[in-house]
Amino acid sequence: MSIENIKIAGAGPAGLTAAINLAKAEYQLDVFEKNYDTGVRFNGDLHGLENWSRKKDVIDELHDMNIKCTDFNYTGFKNLRISNGTKNWDFSCNRPAFYLVRRGNIEGSLDQGLKKKQH
């Protein structure tokens, strides 16, 4: 059985990650996005990549999925302050507890970084 062409619905992080890996495996594919470009529903919003409950750093996990983290901007946070409105708790981690990435149709965003990698 041969696969003529794989069609991926949606050019968000999951769709583009699938496209990157399928293209690397030399599949022919088309990615369809309902908007005129990837990431347009976000306006430079920040998205958190949770990292404190993982054994492996999420940036390393992305690398394992063939995602080059140099294709988008991210910032890791080790020192945190949590508040319930009346009391604050400060804590720090040995590695980033989470990373913030920019989302949207702008240079340096996760969305545009994945799009560049897919081409």
Instruction: For 21-48, write each residue's pLDDT tens digit.
Output: 999 998 999 999 999 999 999 989 999 9
pLDDT at 101 over 60: yes
pLDDT surpassing 90 at residue 54 = no
Q: Which H or E run includes 76?
A: strand 74-77
Residue 58, pLDDT score: 95
Residue 102 pLDDT greater than 60, yes or no: yes
Q: Based on C-alpha coordinates, what's the Rg of the chain?
A: 17
97 token code pair: 């507890």
SS3 88: strand
Please give the mean pLDDT across all residues of the chain: 91
pTM tops 0.85, yes or no: no
| 3-state DSSP of the chain | CCCCCEEEECCCHHHHHHHHHHHHCCCCEEEECCCCCCCCCCEEEEEEEECCCCCCCHHHHHHHCCCCHHHCCEEEECEEEEECCCCEEEEECCCCCEEEEEEECCCCCHHHHHHHHHC
Domain ranges in the chain are: 39-118
